[in-house]
Structure 1
């Protein structure tokens, strides 16, 4: 599972990486590659286009802790409010 990857240096301090949102894609500053660290401790430098490719089930699976590529219809978009099914008291904004 992907744990950490380089982020794009933009005007916000944002450590999020998300293959579903182009504004949160990892950077590609190393000739189109991004340094990526996995939960098991190993590191790779894949091409970003491969890392965020929605048609590559092998890469999609690496974003998830169950190693399942999950279809896009199973991913819920963040609408800026509390997580679906969770109250604001349990999912506050800091």
Structure 2
């Protein structure tokens, strides 16, 4: 399968959280702050720099959801994934990230 650049980035970020975000989005800012506060390693990618913006990103993620675990019902910013080195998990958005960390405690 010829993977798109977004899925490749998620796959390459082993042991990291991958967040696709917008600088103007309150939930994106909160998610980034949460990751930084918890000293969590992550790679961030600005959605607004993607040619085609969020629609292009969502389209590609839908096509590779069997790899990324992306839930096509999630259409808002941010989009957060975690690659543990064996499997990619789609976390969701900011509130999903909070729930994710609460489960880990």
Structure number with higher strand proportion: 2
Structure with the larger RCO, 1 or 2 (CA within 8 Å, 6+ apart): 2
Bigger CA radius of gyration:
1
- TM-score category by the smaller chain? 0.3 to 0.5
Taking structure 1 as the reference length, the TM-score comes to 0.32
Structure number with higher helix proportion: 2
Taking structure 2 as the reference length, the TM-score comes to 0.30
